[in-house]
Structure 1
Amino acid sequence: MLRNPLDAAMAGDALSDLLKTVRLTGATFFDIKAQDPWAVCSPAPSSILPKILPGADHLISYHVLTSGRCFARIIGKEAIVVEAGEVVVFTRSDPHIMSSNPDLRADPPPADVLEIASASQKPFHLNYVSGEGSISAGLVCGYLACDALPFNPLLEALPPVIKAGDSKGDAGWLGQFIKLAVSEVAQKRAGSETVLTKLSELMFVDVLRRYVESLPPQQTGWLAGLRDPHLSKALALIHDRPAHNWTIESLARESALSRTVLAERFTRLIGIPPMHYLAKWRMQIASELLSTGNSNIASIAADIGYESEAAFSRAFKKMIGVPPSAWRLGVRAASGSGSDEAPETEGEPRNELID
């Protein structure tokens, strides 16, 4: 689970808070050595998720090219070139193929290979080299799992594919990750699985940072909001103190903006009004506490700013589609149920955000 590494690297910011709350966790499954021609197809997310983070509903795939050159493509889409020293991340884990030629096809690995891989010491080694042929590409491939529901604005802000790195050598964290990953795979030292898991989580953070820095000035969305110093402050305040009795005025004051400017800029860049965001963030925290902790519902209600269990339960069911007790048991709302709306909270009693 991505706790201490992120806390040390990015303490106190909205991205760190989000990644902790949606339970981002990594796993490295495959070390691949290949000889031309070769092609590898991604397995179905449903076959991987239960092995990484039981109960999670979103899978992210990544491939680090440690040597050679290859092509990466979502099935039905255009291929992109990946050079040694680069990483390609499929943020929605769409069915994709890594190959020596962009036109090659491949089938997903059989179920028994995934079972053996998940039960063995990671990374699991796959050899696509025949006879005395030379290795044309080396990859470290793995996965990250997280919660998409009830509220993960990061996932909505990411494109399906992100490529990062520097084929000519990268002195930054991503370059160090690739060097360490190669070393861990080659030396097979005790604890390599844990080291690679944590490295993959930090690698993803660095990929996100690079993506944010590359966004054009006119870009909107949650990640674009992180670049705005005032909105970044507002998001951090909401994340750090979700139980606080926030109003537009108090949030604007602490973000060094006027009430009107904060409301307009937040809604334009983030996509929803600040108080709506607060309501959804509170429910995201509550859903994690319900799924992973032993606190009773009244305690959870108090932790996110509700003065009564009844008010919290009504709000949770209205937004999520099922009562808190059902969510704790693993019941999820049917598609289309629940409400994605939350009214502004000004003038309303504290904690009655969406009643």
Structure 2
Amino acid sequence: MVKLTGALFFISQASTPWGTEVPRAETFAPIILPRARHVFSYHIVLKGSGWAGIPGVASTSFEAGDVLVFPHGDRHSLLSAPGQPPEFDAAATLQFFRDMAAGKIPFVIQEGGGGPERTDILCGFLACDMRPFNPVLASMPRLLHVKRRPKGQPDLLERLIELTLAEAQSDRPGRESIHMRLSELMFVEVVRRHLETQPMGETGWLAGLRDASVGCALALLHRSPAYPWTLIELARQAGVSRAVLANRFAHLVGYPPMQYLTLWRMQIAANLLAERSMKVAAVAYEVGYQSEAAFSRTFKKITGVTPAAWSIREAT
């Protein structure tokens, strides 16, 4: 559901004291990933420790093996100690991105005050599309902090990180494609880990996945979005009553089932219009509409533009 359209990362080797402030993603996305619709950052702590913070939110400590994700592109800071002034403020970080885009920055960079303690972080920036509807990213907290698994437990994420580091330092053909796929796999595993640690009673799209009936309904809608679903049929296949499904779905996911289906169909349609040279009527049929006019009305109501206008805008 989160299809990446670009990926960029590098390794920072920082000696104490160190600190970097990263501005909001929309300020630097045009520099490093110019065609991106949405950019979010992640930081994989390879060695050492530090503090991560978002303005207005209490700082959180991190250590080797942790993964930090800022899904909404928030301005944030990474510091060797809480509250210290960053070595690189937002303006300096923007200049760093300009130099990186110009090819002036190596894959491994050195920073910090030269102290005895060092923290190594794999810093990544991923591009994807949030429009018109992306329930995965929309349900994420502002800072997603995934802790390292205890030693001795199987750790798929650790293996993916090792592969990413090995591939990043290779100059073999197809490197960028492998970067993208590995980044997607790491993101999926991070979301899995986040889902495992969510307390019972939470609401949101991810919480809906854990509920037996709502999770089943979501799987059905995603597997067959063009099917002529009714609430009765969806409830029957999910194994619960219509009233139970309607109430639990709306409570956990935030939308009634049929409204969610409409939003998901428009997300699929938006991608089809942007990526393929399909006629509007064909796209409408692909997402379950027999009438092109009805599809176009719904699409414009949700996105604010007609399907034809969306297709032209996304192609430019």
Normalised to the residue count of structure 2, the TM-score between the two structures is 0.88
Q: Corresponding residue for 1:304? A: 287
Q: Corresponding residue for 2:188? A: 205
Post-superposition offset of 1:69: 1.1
Pick from 148, 161, 166: which aligns with 2:130? 148
Q: 2: distance between equivalents of 1:30 and 1:231? A: 39
Post-superposition offset of 1:171: 3.1
Post-superposition offset of 1:181: 3.9
Deviations 1:307-332 (A, max 9, x none): 1221211121122222111212228x
Q: In structure 2, the residue corresponding to 1:85 is in which secondary structure? A: coil
Q: In structure 2, the residue corresponding to 1:219 is in which secondary structure? A: coil
Q: In structure 1, the residue corresponding to 2:133 is in which secondary structure? A: coil
Q: In structure 2, the residue corresponding to 1:226 is in which secondary structure? A: helix
Q: Corresponding residue for 1:37? A: 17
Matched letter for residue 151 of structure 1: F
Normalised to the residue count of structure 1, the TM-score between the two structures is 0.79
Q: 2: distance between equivalents of 1:25 and 1:135? A: 36
Q: Quickly say closer, same or farther: Cα 1:329–1:253, change in 2 above 3 A.
A: same
Q: In structure 2, the residue corresponding to 1:330 is in which secondary structure? A: helix
Matched letter for residue 285 of structure 2: A
Post-superposition offset of 1:59: 2.1
1:158-197 matches, cutoff 5 A = 158-166=140-148, 169=151, 171-184=154-167, 187-190=169-172, 193-197=176-180
1:1-355 matches, cutoff 5 A = 18-19=1-2, 23-50=3-30, 51-52=32-33, 54-56=35-37, 58-106=38-86, 107-108=89-90, 109-120=92-103, 124-128=107-111, 134=116, 136-166=118-148, 169=151, 171-184=154-167, 187-190=169-172, 193-330=176-313
Q: Is the 8 A contact 1:140 1:181 kept in 2?
A: no
Post-superposition offset of 1:304: 0.8
Q: Quickly say closer, same or farther: Cα 1:171–1:165, change in 2 above 3 A.
A: farther
Q: 2: distance between equivalents of 1:214 and 1:167? A: 12
Matched letter for residue 82 of structure 1: F
Q: 1: distance between equivalents of 2:47 and 2:150? A: 12
Q: Is the 8 A contact 2:50 2:80 kept in 1?
A: yes
Q: In structure 2, the residue corresponding to 1:101 is in which secondary structure? A: coil
Q: Is the 8 A contact 2:52 2:76 kept in 1?
A: yes
Q: Is the 8 A contact 1:70 1:101 kept in 2?
A: yes
Q: 1: distance between equivalents of 2:228 and 2:241? A: 18
Post-superposition offset of 1:306: 1.1
| Identity within the alignment, % | 42
Q: Is the 8 A contact 1:39 1:98 kept in 2?
A: yes
Q: Is the 8 A contact 1:72 1:98 kept in 2?
A: yes
Deviations 1:187-241 (A, max 9, x none): 5453655444332221111111111111222111111110112212211111121
Q: In structure 2, the residue corresponding to 1:62 is in which secondary structure? A: strand
Deviates more, 1:89-98 or 1:187-196: 187-196
Q: Is the 8 A contact 1:91 1:159 kept in 2?
A: yes
Q: Quickly say closer, same or farther: Cα 1:241–1:253, change in 2 above 3 A.
A: same
Post-superposition offset of 1:246: 0.7
Matched letter for residue 103 of structure 1: G
Matched letter for residue 318 of structure 1: K
Q: Quickly say closer, same or farther: Cα 1:236–1:156, change in 2 above 3 A.
A: same
Matched letter for residue 143 of structure 1: F
Aligned length: 308
Q: Is the 8 A contact 1:63 1:88 kept in 2?
A: yes
Deviations 1:156-205 (A, max 9, x none): 311111111327546311222333344445x5453655444332221111
Post-superposition offset of 1:124: 3.1
Q: Is the 8 A contact 1:28 1:200 kept in 2?
A: no
Q: Quickly say closer, same or farther: Cα 1:138–1:196, change in 2 above 3 A.
A: farther
Structure 2 regions of 5+ residues with no counterpart? none
